[in-house]
Amino acid sequence: MRILWTVNVLMPGVAKILGITTEHAISWVDAMSSRLRFRNDTKLAIACPLDTCSEVKEIEIDNITYYIFPKGDCERIDYWSEIIKKFQPDIVHAYGTESKHNYLLLKNHPEIPILVSLQGILTEYQHHYYAGIDFTMMLRFTTLGDILSSSGFFNGRNSFIKQSVFEKKILKMANRVEGRSTWDRVSAKNINPQLKYYYCPRLIREPFYNEEWDINTIERYSILVHQGNYPIKGLHFVFEAIAKMKKQYPKLKLYIAGNDILHPKRVIRKLLPSGYAQYLKYLIKTYELNDIIEYTGFLSAEQLAKKLTKIHALVIPSSIENAPNSLAEGEIVGTPTIATYVGGNMDMLEHKKDGFLYCYNEPNMLAEYLTQIFESDELAQSFSLHARKTARCRHNPETLEKTLISIYNTIITEVKR
């Protein structure tokens, strides 16, 4: 079976060879490709766009063929015809619904069986972008940086809306989609009721399966949140929650994994900070949280997995999510977790068995649930054991590999009939 994947950013192996810095935005793709490359019955190729590329380039790394094609010219020139002619795929798996190149792939090549992978459904995400921030606050903290960039308070949502145009077109053209939650199935079929839906959870990177949370080795009263660079991630409500707890817990600590948007290194960001960063600084000053908050910077999979074993609780505070990897990673390690009752989170975390679910814009409830975990080692250990067992079954690498190959075989067989 010859399988062609399309992704939105460079895979780590290719980026390293080309001398380009990349992070782990497609970590689940990298994890599964590491397994498929060893199979004798499959040949995998991965195609990705690049701004600085002027023609299709073919690179072979560890038994995977990579095709790099120009990002800017993809509408004027059909690079897919060249890639498809070279590789001759039996099936194409297009990761993501918001990119122009995947739209052009479906539009120009209906002769090939294409499976579209649902990531975030931006058509729905854009409704939740502001995450409960008052309109007057957004106006107050909107900066010149917001106005000049595509990621400010208002331009950020507009960017989601523009990308959702391609998403709707892709899903209306597609026949088959692959997803991982009730929410993404319902959201996709709301756009195209005729879609055939295949369920396949994400494969999580190996280091998370190698670590286990142990209450005897943790930093007590410590919390970890992933990223928080824009409103949808809900970091502002976490600040409000810990403000309510700091007197009760003098050793309270909030770690934020990812780049520090409050103290950016890039000169342009120092001169033109984002409005959301300014709003977060306002909350920190208002609630006197400066000594409590610490950004970790970018963490590798190994570093993040280790960090998850040391914290007291993980919080997923987003206003919308579709079965986030960060939640799966925490559960696999066994870190006591609190997540918002949104999107696909409910499919991954059973309330009061695997952890707690709460309404994203209720910091009082987040503070309450954190307090319950801090005050009861028995409860924390119960969440840890139950979530770890459930998540390691749901994200079992061998099972997910078999599931994905089975999906491919089913589609190829259907097309040949």
Which pTM was predicted? Answer: 0.94
Q: Does 210 share its domain with 343?
A: yes
The per-residue pLDDT for 269 is 73
Shortest CA distance to 387 belongs to which of 347, 345, 333, 324? 333
Say which CATH number the domain at 284 has.
3.40.50.2000
Domain check: are 235 and 359 in the same one? yes
Regarding whether 213 and 105 lie in a shared domain, the answer is no
How confident is the model at residue 23, as a pLDDT? 56
Mean pLDDT, to the nearest integer, of 136-162? Answer: 89
Q: Are residues 379 and 404 in the same domain?
A: no
Cα-flanking dihedrals φ and ψ of residue 230, to 5°? -150, 165
Same domain, 140 and 122: yes
Tell me: the pLDDT tens digits for 373-396?
Answer: 999 999 999 999 999 999 999 999
Tens digit of pLDDT for each residue in 302-320? 999 999 999 999 999 999 9
Inter-residue contact 49 to 101 (CB < 8 Å) = yes
Q: Determine the pLDDT at residue 230.
A: 93
Which pLDDT value is given to residue 25?
58
182/165: higher pLDDT: 182
Can you give the pLDDT at residue 232?
96
170 plus 295 within the same structural domain: no
Into how many domains does the chain fold?
Answer: 2
> Per-residue confidence at 273, pLDDT binned at 50, 70, 90?
confident
- Structure token pair of residue 382: 């119960």
Nearest-angstrom CA–CA distance, 106 and 171 = 10
For residue 145, is pLDDT > 90? no
Predicted local confidence at residue 24, as pLDDT: 53
Domain co-membership, 183 together with 85 = yes
Residue 72: pLDDT above 80? no
The confidence score (pLDDT) of residue 259 equals: 87
Same structural domain, 263 and 295: yes
- The sign of the CA dihedral 92, 95, 101, 104 is positive
At 160, the amino acid letter reads F
Tell me how crowded residue 287 is: count the other CB atoms within 10 A of its CB.
15
What is the average per-residue pLDDT within 13-30?
Answer: 77
Instruction: Return d(Cα 380, Cα 312) in angstroms, integer.
Output: 8
CA distance 190 to 122: 13
Q: How confident is the model at residue 80 (pLDDT cuts 50, 70, 90)?
A: very high
**In the block, which residue shows the tokens 């004027």?**
76
Q: What is the pLDDT of residue 13?
A: 81
Q: Based on the domain organization, do 175 and 211 belong to the same domain? A: no
Q: Which of 334, 287, 286 is nearest to 308 (CA)?
A: 334
Question: Could you tell me which residues are beta bridge partners of residue 47?
Answer: 6, 67
Assess whether pLDDT exceeds 90 at residue 333: yes
Phi (first) and psi of residue 2, to 5 degrees: -105, 115
- The beta strands (E) that lie in 215-283 are given as 222-226, 253-257
Token pair for 414: 């259907």
Mean pLDDT value across residues 199-217: 97
* Residue 280 parent element (H or E): helix 275-287
Question: Both 169 and 249 in a single domain?
Answer: no
Q: Is the pLDDT of residue 77 over 60?
A: yes
Query: E-strand spans in 26-158?
Result: 43-50, 57-61, 64-70, 91-95, 114-117
Residues 36 and 135 both lie in one domain: yes
Strand order in 2-6's β-sheet? 57-61, 64-70, 43-50, 2-6, 91-95, 114-117, 176-179, 196-199
Give me the domain span that covers residue 315: 206-394
Chain mean pLDDT for the chain: 93
Confidence of residue 264 (pLDDT cuts 50, 70, 90): confident
Ranges 11-25, 93-107, 284-298, 341-355: which has the least confidence? 11-25
Q: Are residues 161 and 258 in the same domain?
A: no
- Confidence (pLDDT) at 211: 98
Q: What are the start-end ranges of the E strands in 309-360? A: 313-316, 337-340, 355-358
* Least confident range of 21-25, 163-167, 176-180, 284-288: 21-25
**pLDDT over 90 (residue 74):** no
Q: What pLDDT, on a 0 to 100 scale, did the predictor assign at position 396?
A: 97
Task: State residue 14's pLDDT score.
Answer: 85
pLDDT for the residue 408? 98
Tell which residue, 383, 234, 238, 354, has the closest CA to residue 346: 354
Model confidence band, residue 99 (pLDDT cutoffs 50, 70, 90): confident
- For residue 187, what are the CA distances in angstroms to 196, 339, 404? 13, 20, 21
Between 42 and 101, the higher pLDDT residue: 42
